Amino acid sequence: MAAAEVDAAYSSSDADSDVPFILYRDRPDWKDVEPLPQDDGPSPVVKIAYSEKFKDIYDFFRAVIKRDERSERALNLTKDAADLNPANYSVWHYRRVLLQSLKKDLQEEMGYIQQIIEDHPKNYQVWHHRRVLVEWLGDPSKELAFTASILRIDSKNYHAWSHRQWVLRTYELWQDELTFVERLLDEDLRNNSAWNQRYFVINNTSGFNQEVIDREIKFSQDLISKAPNNESAWNYLRGVLSDINMSDFTSVRDFCQSMYDKDIRSPYLLGFMVEMQEEQLEGGNGEESVLLKATELCDMLAKQFDPIRREYWNYIQRSLRLRFGKIQKDDANQH
């Protein structure tokens, strides 16, 4: 059996293997390597109690790096090291050095890293490794399906979303993304990550022109009507209107007033109404009744519908009175 085959047979990464793991220091084909122990200094404050296996693998890993060995056995060693600590940056960096030096099959490596990500989906280093492989291959064709499979397990996985956004932006694969997002929102309209993705897609494609704004207002309102206490939808609507005055949109004002008239007292509805009234006052379009309504809503939020943020709403109420109550008095004195 060739040395590389012997080394692979010993690998701890093969969970289905019946072959017991043999320490590297006991392997005949590694006798030429002097293991390099970790140097924690003469008096480590908190000495980590590494297992014998961990010390053995990483002592040899450090030795391989020191001698800059580019070999199949070194590549197998990185697999064992990653198996013990998949978050180790140096392991993945050196593995990439070896992949290039040995001219390895990168599609095979893609299959390997897929398995690792499925076992460790919230590990930054493994996602970064996959990104580099996609760049080297120049082939993003599997990435949207792969990230979708991870998001089916955890729809809010930050690393999966980040990777997906990178793929979309780098390779201009926007065509079906809004459909994908709408499917996620059909499954869970409170999925904040999906709402964020919808904004990301539009912001990077059509932009928020008037036609898109009107469409997205209606889209938001339809889902808000289904779940008025869904903060994500309200935040999305706020984002759509972020560069313009919310209060200028009659449809938005009427929508909020209609919900209020139906005795819906979602704190997000009431807070949104306060913001619109504050905009009116800042624009000089607010009458005394607008200030009165805004402060009444703040009072309702503080005492009944959002008491956990009572101090915040009390502050907003005081601020509105100080900023606009005086203006109203000055206007009255001038007349």
Catalytic residues: 122
Q: Rounded to the nearest 10 degrees, what angle do helices 106-119 and 143-153 cross at?
A: 10
Please list the alpha-helical segments (H only) found in the chain.
3-10, 52-66, 72-84, 89-101, 106-119, 124-137, 143-153, 158-171, 177-187, 192-204, 210-226, 231-240, 250-261, 267-282, 288-300, 310-320, 326-334
- Quick one: which of 94, 107, 96, 109 has its CA closest to 63? 94
CA angle, residues 27, 33, 36, in degrees to nearest 5: 110
CA dist 88 and 76 (Å) reads: 16
Choose among 69, 51, 58, 7: nearest CA to 36.
Answer: 58
Q: At what angle do helices 288-300 and 310-320 cross, to 10 degrees?
A: 170
User: Do 246 and 279 touch, CB atoms closer than 8 A?
Assistant: yes
CA atoms within 13 A on the CB side of 146: 24
For residues 72 and 74, give the distance between their C-alpha atoms in angstroms, rounded to a whole number.
5
Give the pair of three-digit tokens for residue 247: 């209060």
Number of Cα atoms under 13 Å in the Cβ half of residue 162? 13
Q: How far apart are CA 58 and CA 64, in angstroms?
A: 10
Distances in Å between the Cα of 268 and the Cα atoms of 88, 222, 235, 297 are 43, 15, 9, 11
